Amino acid sequence: MLFRFWFPFLAHKLRPLVQIISLMAIFGGSPLALQAQVGHGGQPSSLPATKAYEAGVPVERMPALPQSVAADRAAVQAGKGQPLRFAHPFFVNYSPENSGVWQQRKDGTRVWRLALQSPGAYSLNLIFDRFSLAENDSLFLYNPSQEVVLGAFTQKNNQASGILATAPIPGEEVIVELVVSPLSQRHSDLLIGAVNHDYLNVSRLLALKSSRFGRRGSCHADFTCEEDLLIQEAGQAVARLIIDGTELCSGTLMNNSRNDGTPYVLTAAHCLPGEDSHNTVVFTFNYQVPNCNAAIEGSSVQTVSGSLRRAFKSELDMALLEMSEPPPAAYRPYWAGWTRTQSPQAPVRSIHHPEGDMKSVARSASAPVATTFQYFAAQGHWQVARWEEGTTQGGSSGGGLFDASGKLIGFLSGGWATCSNPVNDYFGRLGVAWDYAAEAEAQLAAWLDPDGSHPQSLEGTWFYSEPVERWSNQHLDETAGWWAPPTGGGPYSGHNAARDVAFAEMYGTFAKAKLHGFYVVPARSPLPVPSPSTQQLSLKVWQGIDAPEELIWSANNVGLSQLPDRREYLVSLTAPLEVSGQIWVGMELNYPAGIDSFALYQSPFSPERVNTAWLRSADGQWLAFDERHPDVGPASFWLDVLLSEVELLDTLVAPPAAGAARVVPNPLRGNTLTLLLPEINGHARVSIYTLSGQRVQQQQVLIYNGRGTLTTGTLAPGVYLLHLNVGSKRFVEKLVVQ
């Protein structure tokens, strides 16, 4: 067990990933939320259903789409000089005073519900023309199956504009539920002004196929596969923008010279078609494939709704928005740095959401040149002559252009590059937009340099003093999947004939840490048709030394139909959980026996892997996967964790046991390491990897009488993995560089 005690911390940290959507409804009264738009806990009072009418909710039905939508579908995809229209708005006038149904509970609480239906819609989103909730009142939006629940919206979500835009909810029906507390001192004021019918399927879930999840072209490179650490950071500042509930663009969260976390987002002016469009913007963070696995759709629930328009200049196609609230630390946001340089350094990259799809990266090996684009200001744009990798597309508008140092230099205005002909894209120049106009509301300088210090460039920042990081035991060079024994009987990682009842992934060993939540990545799940599945599971967190021993958190009776496969789900704790030692996150299945319908993604089997997967058999015994299945080997289940304030237990205070290895000093503050491998003589091949799987060094080291010396050269501060290979023996050690 000592080996396992030392090595689970080999999990790598996935660099950063709020809209208020709390999917607590799935989990009964448990302290849990699958978050999207910034939510404040609670759950709807109705039970999941197939259709709204089955839940006893009156339905308002939208008319058929007008014939003009067909023209929109064809025309709007053609270029990047306009936002990508994905939905048709139906303008309505629904409120608790003129529609829906009221119910009163015994405790005096009153509940109003209304269902909105638009036949054939892939998803629906709403615009509230009036949104003012009273203290103690709350609002939820959800589809009938409650696969997605937005809320609870509370008084904290009231905005000065009185407007609230919501994220898309999959399906052709959405239920609105207002819960009025008997303690309320005033009347909540709600008016639904628009129901937006998604006809492009921006939130669809597709089976595994080469076209990936949506409409973007096949040449796009996934952001999470990017190896440049500076671009990895910069990409955490990029968000997808939904405007007026019908348009799609991209934008970048910007740092300012005060480094005070003001949430400015730079995008293109043409992304805001109306005077009040900024009030309706929904910013989505971390919509990206997890762990560079293009077969799995990332979560799109981390959003913030609404903004102020701080600067706008159509002559430069520039718009600077201030989000209604900063994205929380759990979103792992990065405030991008920028430069006003006149001579940007190559290579340059654009990070964006093509067609509103997964976050992507386009790369050009050549520096852009200043030029005049169409009718915009003279010399106001950067021209990217050719993309060597990827391209841009409709929906990429407003997306940032970053130089070789990861600093923002521009924002996408338009162009003609496609996958088949990746040439000639044009980005508004940040340096020109800086003070092109004298008025504060038409320039960037007044906002990004409020004290007038006139910096030519500014570093980016993570801002939060206690950043949250995503840790994963999945390796970037592996393809996750699910497997079953050759004899059949169900998957190793889910319902099976062996009747394994619980599956958990191990992390640690921690001197201390805070757990904010975890990701569940199902590989198989029962289809939600013809009616929602009645099967359930429970989500749990354990602590222990040699095995899961103490249950420290749980959410019971989660419906499997609410966890479709091939998509990651974020389980957020309502408050961080302080942990120490080793922790296991996982799930406990609630059979009926004989059901073979749910499985987690897991790593391929490899003798070189450190086992982190654990199972509990029907007799209640916990075993490591490679002990439960010694003929198969070690494995990891795809259950990632969100952690902050991590202090790993220093395992180097004890000498290595026979057959083990260690490196000293650790943490490393210089560039010389001593390798201790007892009873070994010979040459070791030492490879140093980043936690994202990128090899940064490899060299041969002579080991004599169990000791060798390694000069690392310059390593950036961070956490690395050392792979030591001596003959047939292999060791893996974590190295912290300070």
Instruction: Give me Rg for the CA atoms of the chain.
Output: 26
Which segments of the chain belong to CATH 2.40.10.120? 221-458
In tens, the pLDDT along 274-328 reads 999 999 999 999 999 998 987 888 888 889 999 999 999 999 999 999 999 999 9
Integer Cα distance of 609 and 138 in angstroms: 48
CATH architecture of 221-458: Beta Barrel (2.40)
pLDDT at 451: 96
Which segments of the chain belong to CATH 2.60.120? 2-15+469-640
- Spatial neighbors of 71 by CB under 8 A, at least 6 apart, are none
Topology (CATH) of 2-15+469-640: Jelly Rolls (2.60.120)
pLDDT at 596: 62
* Residue type for position 13: K
Structural contact between residues 552 and 577, judged by C-beta atoms closer than 8 angstroms = yes
In tens, the pLDDT along 610-664 reads 899 999 998 999 999 999 999 998 999 999 999 999 887 654 344 455 567 778 8
Structure tokens at 201: 């399927």
Structural contact between residues 144 and 107, judged by C-beta atoms closer than 8 angstroms = no
When pLDDT is averaged across residues 212-217 and rounded to a whole number, the result is: 61
Share of the chain above pLDDT 90, in %: 59
When pLDDT is averaged across residues 431-455 and rounded to a whole number, the result is: 97
pLDDT at 232: 94
Q: How many angstroms separate the Cα of 439 from the Cα of each of 279, 398, 430, 445, 453?
A: 22, 22, 16, 10, 18
In tens, the pLDDT along 357-387 reads 999 999 999 999 999 999 999 999 999 999 9
Residue 18: pLDDT band by 50, 70, 90 thresholds? very low
Return the minimum-mean-pLDDT range out of 3-12, 81-90, 526-535, 681-690. 3-12
Integer Cα distance of 646 and 644 in angstroms: 5
Integer Cα distance of 219 and 361 in angstroms: 10
pLDDT at 209: 32
In this predicted model, which residue has the larger pLDDT, 717 or 650? 717
Which segments of the chain belong to CATH 2.60.40.3080? 657-737
What predicted TM-score, i.e. pTM, was given to this entire model? 0.81
CATH of 657-737 among 2.60.40.3080, 3.90.550.10, 3.90.480.10, 2.60.40.1180: 2.60.40.3080
pLDDT at 534: 66
Integer Cα distance of 575 and 577 in angstroms: 6
Query: Partners of 458 in the beta sheet?
Result: 338
Return the minimum-mean-pLDDT range out of 17-26, 347-356, 507-516, 678-687. 17-26
In this predicted model, which residue has the larger pLDDT, 254 or 719? 254
Structural contact between residues 302 and 284, judged by C-beta atoms closer than 8 angstroms = yes
pLDDT at 84: 87
Q: Is residue 204 predicted with pLDDT exceeding 60? A: no
Share of the chain above pLDDT 70, in %: 87
pLDDT at 594: 55
Mean pLDDT (the chain, rounded): 86
Integer Cα distance of 548 and 543 in angstroms: 6
Structure tokens at 141: 């939006």
Integer Cα distance of 79 and 76 in angstroms: 7
pLDDT at 148: 83
Structure tokens at 212: 């990936």
Integer Cα distance of 451 and 444 in angstroms: 13
pLDDT at 554: 93
pLDDT at 15: 32
Structure tokens at 580: 């120490």
pLDDT at 528: 52
Q: Render 664-704 in DSSP notation, one character per residue.
A: ESSSBSSSEEEEE-TT--EEEEEEEEETTS-EEEEEEEEEB
Give which of 669, 612, 303, 279 is closest to 475, Cα–Cα. Answer: 612
Locus of tokens 């999945």: 474
In tens, the pLDDT along 532-577 reads 566 788 999 999 877 898 999 998 878 776 787 888 988 888 889 9
Q: Is the dihedral of CA 431, 16, 83, 207 positive or negative?
A: positive
- Give CA torsion, residues 528, 241, 474, 536, to 10 deg: -20
Return the minimum-mean-pLDDT range out of 119-123, 129-133, 546-550. 546-550
In tens, the pLDDT along 145-182 reads 887 889 889 999 999 999 999 999 989 999 999 999 99
Three-state DSSP state, 269: helix
